[in-house]
Structure 1
Amino acid sequence: MKRKLALRAVAAFASTAMLAAGLSVGAIAPAQSATKSTVTLLSSGDITSLNSGTSDGNTSYNATVGSLTGMGFQYYNSDTELIANTAFGTMKIVKQAPKDFQIQYTVKKGQTWSDGTPINAEDLLLTHIVASDKYSKDAGLGDPKSADIKPAFDAVGYGGTYGTHVVGLPTVSADKMSLTVKFDKPLPDWELLAPGPSPIHALSLLADGKKGLQSAAVNAAAKAKFVKAFTSKNTAHLKAMGNVWTNSYNVTKVDKDTNPLLLISNG
């Protein structure tokens, strides 16, 4: 049975690696939808979450929503070729030594989230939280390898190349537009490790129980709160954010009662 879910603007945290071909999903062109701002997905499986990065939400159906509503450094075209998305930003190797391999990711200036909040390199930091086993343990968020207790961020990205080889915390440039990540050795598939952008101000606001879109000043403060929690490993705030990231995006419909903070995207 085919199921439909009409979404006007949704946020997702799908990585480009999930956006392979062969998805059992079709998209009706906007001209055939109710308005040109609406896309209707015809799916052979349920769309259950706006976050396909969790263990429960990691399905091709959910990832398709992410591919339509968000963008980052790369994307897969219809021929499953990985394409650099310079409209979002660029990435390059800045150091290549046997035990010191560094990649710099630079976000193109002038971009904003759908609520008007500027996008910068700080919006890339969430990738480290959901891909580094060491960070999860050090920050008191749980051991991703535990068979008994799930970590605060119940992510499918743990245990991979990024988490195995990343060294320390990523560093944000003075102008906040570039992020540099260090690894313990050169990685031939480094382009596949590009961090995905996330509206961290919205996640921080949701963790504080906020409902509805906020002012520019409040959004900036929320982003700053996340960055401080990230660098200081503030377990309490990060756990609250993890609960939101893991559970709050599990929705089967979007209507007037949906918290708009869940729908912030950059697609």
Structure 2
Amino acid sequence: MTYSEEKKSGVVCFEEVNQIGILTIDNGSQNKIPQPDFLDLSFLKEWISEQRLKGLIITGKGRHFSAGADVDNIRANKDNPGYLREALKKGRDILNYIESLPIITVAAISGICFGAGLEIALSCQFRIGTANALLAFPESNIGIMPGLTGTIRLSRIVGKSKALEIIITGRTINGEESYSLGLVDKIVPNKTHLSAAVQFINELTKNKSHQQIRSIIQSVNKSAVEKDAIAMEYESEMFLKLVENI
């Protein structure tokens, strides 16, 4: 296999292996997301433009995908809504860019995938999880809600009523249930999530041209992205109102 030189922006490492980009969240044992704009979007766009990728994988270093946002940082900035609003917009822009990419995108999930981590995973077209994967939006347990497009993308994938139940209760969903809900597309043995994601992309793109893949994905993406823009703005405003009281 041919590996490119590893690069880093924010808490994410960038690497290319045989026309597959791998973004690895690397921030301590739980890979927490310190702020919504967890990487430099201009850096990501430049890196993507330099590659000829057929797919992109987002994963976490070590045992966990990501334990989610750094709540202490949110509390520290709750009296500065202007900063939080701008950070949320930048975070949304990152996830919207990932969702709009005209290549196959896969979140390779192991262990904990909570809050902002789950929102990042939901921006991918597919999610592959290990048997020990645990997914949740625990924000309601501290009096807030997802603020990085989680309410929109989760309801789009599992339906409105199930999304409401998952977000309001803040309960943890194991690998088996996440698969039955369609939240995860495939469950694989522990420690095989990254290799399974690579294999999945290779199988899906086999004997397909870059132009064919791009055309199909762009057509599928178009309506969803345009329809959700207003809802994403509203989610951010509701998030900021709740942050005032934590």
TM-score when scaled to structure 1? 0.25
More helix by share: 2
Choose 1 or 2 for highest CA Rg: 1
TM-score when scaled to structure 2? 0.26
